[in-house]
Amino acid sequence: MCYPCPVTGVTHVPSPYNPCNGLPLTATLDRLFDKHLVAFAPDTGTMLISDRIDEAARAILGIPASLRRTPNPQQARYLKLHLDRFELQKAH
């Protein structure tokens, strides 16, 4: 389950009290992230997109859009947790 911060709106994966567990995403990307329709590679920050988002929708949404900075090891751990769930949903 992902948690939006009530103050900043930043999406959080489990353990919402760790400052490394949040991404400054636009509202649209935040929603896609929460629905596990996009994820980010923990080692590079490259955006991964679900096959459920077609090319036309990707163009409208302006994705892919990778993270501007490579995740640090703590951020990578949380991104890996989210990626595991993203991959699980792709399998279904």
Distances 10 to 27, 57, 84 between C-alpha atoms, Å: 9, 23, 20
Q: Are 16 and 2 in contact (CB under 8 A)?
A: no
Reading the block at residue 41, the tokens are 């590679």
Residues in the chain: 92
pTM of the model: 0.75
Hey, which bits of the chain come out as E strands? Answer: 3-4, 11-12, 38-40, 47-49
Res. 2: pLDDT tops 60 = no
Cα–Cα distance for residue pair 74/9, rounded to 1 Å: 20
pLDDT-derived band at 33, boundaries 50, 70, 90: very high
pLDDT-derived band at 13, boundaries 50, 70, 90: low
